[in-house]
Amino acid sequence: MNITEQDKAFMREAIRLASESVKQGGGPFGAVVVKDGKIVAGSSNRVTLDNDPTAHAEVNAIRKACRVLGTFDLSGCTLYTSCEPCPMCLGAIYWAHIDRIYYGNTRKDARDIEFADDFIYDEMGKPLAERTVPIIPMLRDEAQESFRLWTEKADKTEY
């Protein structure tokens, strides 16, 4: 993969956001979403600032980009993030249909400063009954109603 000077500039902005976040009391992570050679949105980690465990830099940047572009589909966009995405962020990136991810720090680098996501990757590979947090199925027959309604809805917006 050929990395351009423009790619480096976008990554440097993600890194700048990460460093600025630390100075403001947030986590050391930053991300920008780019489309057509321009930054659409950027954000940092705000978990502790917002008391929101989902407020990772990548998720925040995706949310902002979706608002700016008026869509939930970020096809044609690239994400530059100061660290390899955690499982939650990776899921959000895939759901947003982002085309490409560039990252700075690795999962190991994050683990070395006590941001360890490996346990989540490990948990996902275990059968439900063996996971740390109990995952208990119930009322499936009743829950199927919303799926039936979705299946029958002629004017739904697929995503």
Q: Which residues are catalytic?
A: 58
Unique residue bearing structure tokens 């740390």: 132
Closest CA to 123 of 84, 95, 87: 87
Amino acid at 49: L
Q: Please enumerate in sequence order all residues whose Cβ is within 8 A of that of 47, keeping only pairs 6 or more positions apart, or say none.
A: 26, 27, 53, 55, 56
- 48-74: string of b/e by CB count within 10 Å (b at 16+)? eeeeeeebbbbbbbbbbbbeebeeeeb
* 3-class secondary-structure state, position 70: coil
